A = this chain, B = another copy of it.
Amino acid sequence: MKIYQTHKAPNPRRVRVFLAEKGIEMDYVEVDIAAGENLSPAMRAKNPTTKIPFLELDDGTCLGETLAICRYFEELHPENPLMGRTPLEKAQVEMWHRRIEFHFMLPIGMCFQHTTGYFKDRMTPVEEWGKESGKNAIAYFDELNEHLKESTYLVGDYFSIADIVLLCAIDFARVVQIRPSDEHSHLLAWYERVSARPSYSA
């Protein structure tokens, strides 16, 4: 099996860090999304949405969506669970993962797409919405900082896929000059903890 990805993009990194934490080796095929390599008929046949990353199994079955790929490996290899260990913890991981996606990563992505025009050949950027999204993402730092005041990771003392999505989103946010500030000391301490893990460089 292999994963089609663009190394610098944030979503493939979520999968790489996830697999590194679980100790799973993977083959990667690099796809140049800026040049539109993901839009070719051959690639669309494998991956109709054209989004990366996607996983191709040895029988040709293709699976898109970052979280679906992670779910597949979590189910196949339950060791080193990153999606929770009990029903309640699994739900809490899902809750935090979605909060990070909807309140931070998605706004950062919108800010990037709508203010830089990076994908303007394949979408209609609305600059005002890009700027508003950037503001919303910045505002969320306060909530995160408050939560991490009394929590080692997003879900108590359990490192999970929710921490991975936040890590990747914070690093990606630099492309639109969005960073936590010194007043977000608990968030910055969390960042120090997660970025010190060997998976950081995956």
A76-108 residues at the B interface, CB under 8 angstroms: 76, 86-88, 90-92, 94-95, 98-99, 103
* Minimum CB–CB distance for A43 against chain B, Å: 16
By the criterion of a CB under 8 Å from any partner CB, how many residues of chain A are at the interface?
30
> A75's closest neighbor in chain B, by CB?
B87
Closest chain B residue to A55 by CB distance? B91
Residues of chain B within 8 A (CB-CB) of A76 are: 87
A61 to B61, CA, bound (A): 40
Known: A49-B103, A94-B71, A132-B126. A88 touches B65 (CB 8 A): no
**Which residues from chain A sit less than 8 Å from chain B, CB to CB?**
48-49, 61, 63-65, 67-69, 71-72, 75-76, 86-88, 90-92, 94-95, 98-99, 103, 124, 126, 128-129, 132, 143
